[in-house]
Amino acid sequence: MADIKLYFKKLFPWEGGYVNDPLDSGGATKMGVTLATWKTMGYDKDLDGDIDEEDIKLLSRADAEMVCKKGYWDKWLADQIKNQSQAEQLVDWVWGSGCYGLIIPQHILGVHADGVVGPITLTAVNSSNQEEFFNKVKAERLQFIQNIITRKPSQKRFEIGWKRRVNSFVFKP
65 lies in a domain? Answer: yes
Spacing of C-alpha 87 from chain mean position: 11
Q: Band of the pLDDT at 150, cuts 50, 70, 90?
A: very high
Task: Round to whole Å and give the CA distance between 9 and 87.
Answer: 13
Domain encompassing residue 19:
4-167
Q: What is the pLDDT of residue 16?
A: 86
36 lies in a domain? Answer: yes
Please compute the mean of the pLDDT values over residues 93-119 and round it to a whole number.
Answer: 97
What radius of gyration do the chain's Cα atoms show?
Answer: 16
Percent of all residues in the chain with a pLDDT value above 90, rounded to a whole number: 94
Distances (CA, A) of 9 to 12, 23, 65, 87: 6, 27, 11, 13
Distances (CA, A) of 93 to 16, 29, 97, 116, 168: 17, 17, 6, 14, 12
Q: Is the dihedral of CA 66, 57, 166, 97 positive or negative?
A: positive
172 lies in a domain? Answer: no
Q: Taking a C-beta distance cutoff of 8 angstroms, is the pair 158, 24 a contact?
A: yes
Q: What is the pLDDT of residue 23?
A: 84
Q: Please state the length of the chain.
A: 173
Residue 26 has pLDDT above 90, yes or no: no
28 lies in a domain? Answer: yes
Residue 42 has pLDDT above 90, yes or no: no
Domain containing residue 75: CATH number = 1.20.141.10
Q: Band of the pLDDT at 82, cuts 50, 70, 90?
A: very high
Number of domains, the chain: 1
Q: What is the pLDDT of residue 132?
A: 98
Residue 24 has pLDDT above 90, yes or no: no
Residue 141 has pLDDT above 90, yes or no: yes
Q: What is the mean pLDDT of the chain?
A: 96
Q: Band of the pLDDT at 47, cuts 50, 70, 90?
A: very high
46 lies in a domain? Answer: yes
Q: What is the pLDDT of residue 158?
A: 93
Spacing of C-alpha 78 from chain mean position: 12
Percent of all residues in the chain with a pLDDT value above 70, rounded to a whole number: 100
Say which DSSP state 34 is in: E
Q: Which residues is 30 bridged to in the sheet?
A: 33
